[in-house]
Amino acid sequence: MANTQLLKTRIEPFVRQWLAEKFERPFSSQFLQLAGCSGVHEFDAVSKDKRIVCGIKSSSGPTSGGKNPSGKISGAYEELYFLAGVDADQRFLVLTDKDFYELLSRKMREKLTRGIKLLYCPDRGVASTCKKSPIRGKRRNRPRETIAQLLALRNETDTMPSRRSCGHRSGAERLGRD
């Protein structure tokens, strides 16, 4: 899972600078009006003259188990949806991971609308510094008990409080009907 704060503070500025060099104009994050409705959407990179609008995705390719990254692909589809709804001369979905760029390019071949294009921006290692280490919560560091083990433990100790002793009330009690 990615660290969103680092994505916003390191990857997106890096990509905006890359775009500025590529298109010879400054880029910034901006909310833009969507065509045909009253909604707005924040786009990650918009040229100062608003003629170029980009979404930025730093998702990686296949999952750690080698499976299809369907959630990541859905996130890219969502950004493509918003890009299709904004008026601009050029619209791009900028991807910072080569594997994800190639995967999405194959999936989206001949399916992109309104002149939207995919761009690959090599992040030169910026993205790898933004990945979180695995979650280290209490539950993750100990073996998972089976339901039978938990029930046996509950029956042995019988000290687990009931819902009512924890201050929970039924709907009827809340309405004064109990």
- The identity of residue 91, as a single letter, is R
pLDDT band (50, 70, 90) for residue 6: confident
3-state SS of 106-132 is HHCCCCCCCCEEEEECCCCCCHHHHEC
**Mean pLDDT (whole number) for 108-115:** 85
The pLDDT > 90 percentage for the chain reads 50
- pLDDT of res. 68: 85
Q: Where are the domains of the chain?
A: 4-130, 140-167
**Mean pLDDT (whole number) for 85-106:** 95
Contact between 80 and 112 (Cβ < 8 Å): yes
Residue 128 has pLDDT above 60, yes or no: no
- pLDDT of res. 162: 47
Q: pTM for the full model? A: 0.69
Contact between 58 and 96 (Cβ < 8 Å): yes
Domain 4-130: which topology? Trna Endonuclease; Chain: A, domain 1 (3.40.1350)
- pLDDT of res. 146: 57
